[in-house]
């Protein structure tokens, strides 16, 4: 333990210095340094969140636009021409515009909302607050992380307005389609902007991720051993590890793609005849890109879902007034998921001509992930068992998360088995699977986090009634949208089709597509209600009167309602116990800061 003692004494010194620093500059806090180039992790968290919300509205609106095409293939909407111009001549979206919308929807939601908006927000907000640190290890890097994300956002936004349109080859950006401007109008400057934006995004993720890891490892307050950390922190830790190890691989894939586009290289290109001439490129492999892409792409889905898992664990425990069941198993399963995440990428590539023997290992490892996932689900269910559950919007979204995670996770067992994947690959079954398991679930985790920690962010509460309406419409709507899609997929209906009317096998789903599109519009409108609630409550929400409104044990609720930069006005509290002493020994909750009693058993 001497090592830890040294570490903490050093940290104390550092914090002391920091305090001083804070004090010194207190009066110089101007608008720019407080709200724009802020180095306070709490402000950066809000910046990530609000940018994420803006992107979420755009990305979701795009899905409404292409659902209009799918649900009403024969109808015309003149207002579409007013906003999209020649991309929707006569009020009907063109195929090119449809593919651009689909591509941007995927990119925006996966990267800008559910990666930056989700882990960017809550890692920033909660890591220092829950481990007991004044700020991140490097507040400056943290600030840069947001602003690189902002730059990435600007470039991506700009790509929506160029003459030839944004990238339109699907969010996975597979070459040769994405490498050749002649193959698709979206593969002209749109892809260059897309790649630039994503490169900036990767920089942002690395700056953020390294910061999260070093803060968690080095800046925990006295007594906060790793096993005393709330599960949120564990999940952010593994998320950051995943990101730091896999995003560089993605970047390398993008650089090669950029060189194939502009430097005449043939990493991904071979034997291509396009636009009336045979290209000189020979010997490249289009499949190489897919390996590089999915080496990030698969961990990416865990980057999205792990933070949601962590927050749901925390919210369920707090609102059930019970310790999370099987804390160590929860940490262990996060770890197992984190390791396996790197070993399953080729399950996205079963039908690319991948060596079947190699494919067999990916089947095995993919289905193996179901074990830690099952452990987590059973532990969540056991956590609410014999609890005393308060139905706040946050806890409802957590219950909804577990429900959708089960539904979407189970279909993963279908798709992970290559023999089934060979039929269902790239059909609506896949759409249903990943939207439920990482789209809806991750959003539910995010909503749970927002409703739960909103008071910590703004010192006010969000409107509960609107929260309940938001939850119920979204839960029911999500199932109505995605559940029937499994059947479309079972019928082999391919994804990314602009129009199914000429297909004897798939046009039978016209009425179903119509129904789904109607629900999409309703659910989208309900999300706007949430956005309204969010911004309204920042200014007009019910004020927080106590420091610890949910009666939670963790450290963030020991800070003042409006904590300044540095979080605790005095000393950082010392931690004596884990974060889950709820309903122990006849007491509703015991804060982490309370020493273990003489006759008390530790968990």
Which lies closer to another protein via its Cβ, residue 154 or residue 351? 351
Q: What minimum distance in Å lies between the beta carbon of 479 and another protein?
A: 7
Q: What minimum distance in Å lies between the beta carbon of 11 and another protein?
A: 29
Q: What minimum distance in Å lies between the beta carbon of 376 and another protein?
A: 10
Determine the Cα–Cα distance for residues 496 and 506; give it in Å rounded to an integer: 13
Q: For residue 164, which phi and psi values (nearest 5 degrees)?
A: -90, 5
What does DSSP assign to residue 461? P
- Closest C-alpha among 52, 51, 53, 59 to residue 435: 59
Which lies closer to another protein via its Cβ, residue 356 or residue 560? 356
Which lies closer to another protein via its Cβ, residue 140 or residue 532? 532
Determine contact, residues 198/254, Cβ cutoff 8 Å.
yes
Which lies closer to another protein via its Cβ, residue 21 or residue 542? 542
Determine contact, residues 283/551, Cβ cutoff 8 Å.
no
Determine the Cα–Cα distance for residues 143 and 139; give it in Å rounded to an integer: 6
Q: What minimum distance in Å lies between the beta carbon of 224 and another protein?
A: 18
Query: Which residues, 6+ apart, have CB-to-CB distance to 135 below 8 Å?
Result: 18, 39, 40, 41, 128, 142, 565, 566, 567
Q: What minimum distance in Å lies between the beta carbon of 554 and another protein?
A: 16
Q: What minimum distance in Å lies between the beta carbon of 528 and another protein?
A: 8
Which lies closer to another protein via its Cβ, residue 10 or residue 508? 508
Which lies closer to another protein via its Cβ, residue 38 or residue 333? 333
* Residue bearing tokens 């910590």: 456
- Closest C-alpha among 598, 556, 591 to residue 576: 591
Determine the Cα–Cα distance for residues 538 and 62; give it in Å rounded to an integer: 27
Q: What minimum distance in Å lies between the beta carbon of 97 and another protein?
A: 9
Which lies closer to another protein via its Cβ, residue 211 or residue 463? 463
Q: What minimum distance in Å lies between the beta carbon of 255 and another protein?
A: 20
Determine contact, residues 76/92, Cβ cutoff 8 Å.
yes
Q: What minimum distance in Å lies between the beta carbon of 272 and another protein?
A: 5
Strand 587-589 versus strand 273-274 pairing type: unpaired
Determine the Cα–Cα distance for residues 215 and 566; give it in Å rounded to an integer: 14
Which lies closer to another protein via its Cβ, residue 26 or residue 86? 86
Across 102-212, the runs of DSSP E, i.e. the strands, are none
What is the C-alpha end-to-end distance of the chain, expressed in Å? 20
Determine the Cα–Cα distance for residues 329 and 377; give it in Å rounded to an integer: 11
Which lies closer to another protein via its Cβ, residue 33 or residue 352? 352
Query: Which residues, 6+ apart, have CB-to-CB distance to 587 below 8 Å?
Result: 581
């Amino acid at each position: 333990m001497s090592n830890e003692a040294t570490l903490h004494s050093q940290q104390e010194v550092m914090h002391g210095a920091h305090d001083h620093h804070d004090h010194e500059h207190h009066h110089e806090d101007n608008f720019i340094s407080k709200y724009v180039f802020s180095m306070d992790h709490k402000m950066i968290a809000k910046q990530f969140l609000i940018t994420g919300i803006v992107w979420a509205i755009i990305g979701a609106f795009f899905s409404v636009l292409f659902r209009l095409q799918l649900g009403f293939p024969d109808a015309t909407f003149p207002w579409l021409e007013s906003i999209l111009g020649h991309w929707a001549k006569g009020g009907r979206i063109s195929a090119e515009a449809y593919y651009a919308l689909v591509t941007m929807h995927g990119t925006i939601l996966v990267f800008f909302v559910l990666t930056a908006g989700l882990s960017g927000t809550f890692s920033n907000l909660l890591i220092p607050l829950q481990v007991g640190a004044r700020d991140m290890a490097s507040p400056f890097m943290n600030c840069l992380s947001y602003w690189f994300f902002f730059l990435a956002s600007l470039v991506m936004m700009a790509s929506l307005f160029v003459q030839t349109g944004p990238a339109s080859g699907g969010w996975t950006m597979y070459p040769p389609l994405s490498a050749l401007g002649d193959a698709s109008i979206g593969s002209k400057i749109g892809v260059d902007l897309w790649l630039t934006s994503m490169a900036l995004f990767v920089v942002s993720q690395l700056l953020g991720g390294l910061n999260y890891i070093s803060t968690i490892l080095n800046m925990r307050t006295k007594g906060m051993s790793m096993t005393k950390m709330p599960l949120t922190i564990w999940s952010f830790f593994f998320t950051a590890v995943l990101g730091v190890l896999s995003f560089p691989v993605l970047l390398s894939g993008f650089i090669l793609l950029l060189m194939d586009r502009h430097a005449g290289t043939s990493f991904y290109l071979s034997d291509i005849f396009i636009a009336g001439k045979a290209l000189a490129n020979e010997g490249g492999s289009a499949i190489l890109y897919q390996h590089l892409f999915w080496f990030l792409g698969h961990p990416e889905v865990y980057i999205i879902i792990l933070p949601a898992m962590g927050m749901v664990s925390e919210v369920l425990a707090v609102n059930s007034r019970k310790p999370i069941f099987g804390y160590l198993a929860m940490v262990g399963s996060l770890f197992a998921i984190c390791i396996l995440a790197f070993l399953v990428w080729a399950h996205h590539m079963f039908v690319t001509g991948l060596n079947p023997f190699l494919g067999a290992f990916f089947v095995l490892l993919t289905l193996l992930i179901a074990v830690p996932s099952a452990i987590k689900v059973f532990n969540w269910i056991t956590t609410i068992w014999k609890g005393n559950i308060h139905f706040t919007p946050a806890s409802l979204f957590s219950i909804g998360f577990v429900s959708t995670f089960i539904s979407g996770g189970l279909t993963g067992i279908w798709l992970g088995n290559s023999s089934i994947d060979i039929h269902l690959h790239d059909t609506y079954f896949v759409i249903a699977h990943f939207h439920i398991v990482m789209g809806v679930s991750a959003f539910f985790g995010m909503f749970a986090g927002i409703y739960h920690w909103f008071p910590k962010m703004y010192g006010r509460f969000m409107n509960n009634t609107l929260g309940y309406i938001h939850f119920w419409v979204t839960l029911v709507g999500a199932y109505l949208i995605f559940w029937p899609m499994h059947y479309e997929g079972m019928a082999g209906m391919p994804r990314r089709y602009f129009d199914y009317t000429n297909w004897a096998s798939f046009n039978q789903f016209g009425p179903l597509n119509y129904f789904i599109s109607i629900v999409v519009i309703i659910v989208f409108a309900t999300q706007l209600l949430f956005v309204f609630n969010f911004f309204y409550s920042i200014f007009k929400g019910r004020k927080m009167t106590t420091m610890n409104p949910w009666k939670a044990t963790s450290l963030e609720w020991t800070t003042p309602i409006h904590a300044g930069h540095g979080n605790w006005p005095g000393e950082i509290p010392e931690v004596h116990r884990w974060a889950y002493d709820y309903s122990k020994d006849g007491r509703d909750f015991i804060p982490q800061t309370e020493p273990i009693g003489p006759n008390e058993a530790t968990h």
